[in-house]
Amino acid sequence: MEYDDDQSFKPDPVFTNSRPKWVDDNNCTNCHKCRTQFTLLLRRHHCRRCGLVFCQKCSSNSVKIPQLNYNFVPVRVCDDCHRNLRF
């Protein structure tokens, strides 16, 4: 099942102070952004901000997110969340 088919999960477009529910790995066969299919060599990566699943290319940024209690170590975020989190 693709993410788009799963109407039960929608990331909150407004930034909140709670960590998002991660999309289940078993439900994701393709990158949410570029639609590249995941394989044994092309791994899935969850964005710590929105909880969606991306390939390395579409989630290559890391930032600290104090609002989600990621204070000390930068964590992986997708390109869209990275643009939204920049100050």
| CATH code of 53's domain | 3.30.40.10
Domain count, the chain: 1
Q: How many residues does the chain have?
A: 87
What is the reported pLDDT for 25?
86
Range of the domain at 67: 20-85
Q: Give the pair of three-digit tokens for residue 60.
A: 């290559």
Q: Is residue 10 part of a domain?
A: no
pLDDT in tens, 23-77: 898 889 999 999 999 999 999 999 999 999 999 999 999 999 988 888 889 999 9
- Tell which residue, 75, 31, 22, 19, has the closest CA to residue 56: 31
Q: Give the pair of three-digit tokens for residue 7.
A: 């109407």
Enclosing H/E stretch for 85: helix 79-85
The end-to-end CA distance of the chain, in Å, is: 36
Q: Is residue 28 part of a domain?
A: yes
16 versus 41: which is more confidently predicted?
41
Q: Is residue 64 part of a domain?
A: yes
Q: Is residue 2 part of a domain?
A: no
What is this structure's pTM? 0.75
